[in-house]
Amino acid sequence: MKPIYDSWDLSYKSIFGAIRQGESCRFTIRLPKDISLDFPPVLVLFRTGFKERFLRMNEIVDEGDCLAYSTNYTAMYTDVHYYYFSYTMHGTRHYIKKNNVHEGNVDFGDLFQLTVYNNTYETPDFLKGGVMYQIFPDRFCRSGKKHENVPSDRVMREWGETPYYKPDQNGHVWNNDYFGGDFAGIQSKLPYLNDLGVTCIYLNPIFESHENHRYNTADYMKADPLLGTNDEFEELCREADKYGISVILDGVFSHTGADSVYFNKFGRYSEPGAYQSQSSPYYSWYTFINYPDTYEAWWGIDTLPNVWENNESYTEFICGDEGVLKYWLGKGAAGWRLDVADELPDRFLFNLRKSVKSFDKDKIVIGEVWEDASNKESYGIKRRYLLGNQLDSVMNYPFREAIINFIKGGSSAGFAYSIMTIAENYPKPTLDVLMNFVSTHDIERAINRLGGENCDDKSKEWMAERFLNEHEYNLGKNRLKTAMALMFFLPGVPSIYYGDEAGLQGYKDPFNRRCYPWGNEDHELIEYVSNLSRVRKSIPNLRDGRIYFVIDNEKLTDDRVTAFTRQGDPDYIFFVNKSEADITINSVGEILHLFSDLKPYIGHFADDAVKLEPYGYTIITGIFNK
C-alpha cells in the first residue's frame, strides 16, 4: 500500500523542498479505494498571521489499490507556509498531517512546511564546491613582525601556552592575553592552506578591540594593531586571491565594546564617547537607563553595550556608501559573517544586504543562527533570513549536531531525517552555500566531543589542562575522520576550524582557541583532510547536487552505515562507516531505490558489493537507467 502522502517523493510533491515565488507545485495524496468521501479532499495552506487557503483536489487517478487526488499551487508570497490535507467521510472531517518527519498520517501529527523564497534570489558562486577554513586570528600563526601602536595593557604570551581563563576579584575575565597571530602569519601559510584545498578563509573579528576575541569592537574602521594595518589586510586578500582563496570577515553589529571610540567608558580615546557626553555623535546609538552607568548591554555584560541598529546614524555608519561594510569589501573582503544574527532586526538586515549586494552581488552574507533558520523565531518575531532579502547562508549547527549524534550512537535513519529536514526547509540557493562544520570558536573541538569525556558539567579548571589520553585521541581522531567525510559530502560548504586537521584539542572557550600546533601537527590527519578536498574538487555533484538517502530499505538496515546520493550526471553514491569494523554491503544494485524522480537504480559494481573500512567511506558511480 502506498503512503497517503510523502513530502520527499516527487510523485506526491512535484518539487522537493522550498519553491520560488511564482513557481507551480503539484500536490498529490493517495487514499484507499474503499474510503467513501462526502466531497473531494482539500489542500489547506496558510502563513503565520494570515487566514487559511483551501485548494480543492479535483483530479482523480485510479492507481489500482488507491485513488490519487491532486491540485496545483502557485506560490504568490515569499514566506514560510504551513500546510495539511483534509477530507470528510460520513460527515466527519479528517486531517492528513506530518508523521515520521515526511510522511502523511491521518488525524494526528504536525503541519508540513513549505518555504517560498524570492524569485530573484541567488547566492554567490565563488563558495559553491569549495572548502572554508575558519581562523581565530590571534592563535593561527605569528609572523614575529613588529607592529606599531599596540596598547601597553596587553599581556603577551608564549605560543602554545594555555589561554587565561580565571576571573579577577570582580568576577570578570578580561581576555587580555595575546599570542601574536597576525595577517603576515596567515599570509605566510597560504601555501599550506592551498595544499589543504582551502578556497575561502573566514576570519573571526579583526577590528581594533581590547580583548583577544575581538567581539568587543573598539574601532570598525581600523584593523587591530597587533594583527597589522588595514593595508596589510588588503595585501593578505591580494595574495590569497593568487591561490584562488577568498577572505570573509566577521561583523559584530549588535553591540560594541565599552572600551571603544564610540562608548569610551574607560577614557582610552581622546574624543568623548557616548558614556562621557550626551553631545557625542555616538550617544544616540545606545540606550541608557540611568545615564551614564546603567545601559542596555549584550546579555547584561556591561563591557558590551548594545547598539540600536535601526538608529539612522548607526545604520548609515555601517551600511552607507562610506560605511564599514563597503570600506572592507573595497579592501578585498569577499563578504561578511554576521555575529548573533538573531539579535539583528529585520530592517537592519535588509539594509545590510542591500549595501553588500550594491557593492557586488557576488559578495556573501552569512548569519550566525544555531537552529533551523527557515522557521526561527527570536524575541517573538518570525525571522525572514532565507527568503531572499537578508542572508545568503547560515552557520549550519543542525548538520553539526546530526553528524555528532550519528557518530556517537544515533541511527542512520535519524541522521537522514535531520539532514533531509534542513534540505527540505531551506531554499536551494542557500543549501549550496551552507557553512558546514563540526567545530567552531564557540563550541568544544570535535575531537574532544567525539573521543573524550562530556564537558558540559565540568569547570574551567577541569577543562584547562585536560587532554585526551592515547586511547581517547585515537578514538576521537577516527571519529573525526568520519565526521569530516560527512561534512565534505553533504550539501553546503565544509568549514575546517583551524587546527582540527592537525589534531588540535580543546574543550570549551577559551580552550578551543589554543594556538595552532606548528611543529607538532598530526600529519596523517592533515593528509586525510587534504585528500577529502581533492575528492570534493573531483566530483562536480558536490557543488550543487541534490541529496537523497538510502533509508527504509531491507537490504541496508545497519545503523553503522549511512548511504546517500548527490545527484548529477552521473550520480555518485556515498557510503560512510562510523564503526571500527570492516563492513561489506551486498546486493548494492537492489539497495539503490531512492525517493526521487529517477527510476530504481540498476547499478554495475564489482561483485555487486561495497566494502567499507573502519571509519571509512566508499564512493561509487556507474551507468544508471533513468
Residues identified as active-site: 339, 368
Query: Which regions of 66-199 does DSSP assign to beta strands (E)?
Result: 66-74, 79-89, 92-99, 103-106, 112-117, 132-135, 155-156, 177-178
Q: Is the separation of the CB atoms in 29 and 104 below 8 Å?
A: yes
615 alpha carbon, distance to own chain's centre:
24
Torsion of CA 480, 486, 491, 494, to 10 degrees: 30
Tell me the C-alpha distance between 335 and 207, whole Å. 15
Angle at 375 between CA 382 and CA 351, to 5 degrees: 55
**Helices and strands per DSSP (H, E), number in the chain:** 16, 32
DSSP state of 497: E
Q: Report in angstroms the alpha-carbon separations of 143 from 50, 149, 501.
A: 58, 17, 21
Q: In terms of Cα–Cα distance, which of 175, 286, 195 is closest to 244?
A: 195
Look up residue 203 and give its three cell numbers: 576570519
Tell me the C-alpha distance between 267 and 277, whole Å. 12
Tell me the C-alpha distance between 486 and 564, whole Å. 10
Query: Which regions of 326-386 does DSSP assign to beta strands (E)?
Result: 335-338, 364-367, 377-378, 381-382
Tell me the C-alpha distance between 301 and 290, whole Å. 16
Q: In terms of Cα–Cα distance, which of 324, 372, 330, 327 is closest to 348?
A: 324
Please name the residue that has the C-alpha cell 491532486: 70
First to last CA, the chain: 24
Q: In terms of Cα–Cα distance, which of 149, 227, 211 is closest to 176?
A: 211
Q: Report in angstroms the alpha-carbon separations of 613 from 316, 415, 455, 526, 575.
A: 56, 20, 30, 19, 11
What is the H or E stretch that residue 436 is in? strand 435-436
Residues 6+ apart with CB under 8 A from 487: 399, 403, 436, 437, 438, 494, 495
CA atoms within 13 A on the CB side of 532: 29
Please name the residue that has the C-alpha cell 599596540: 150
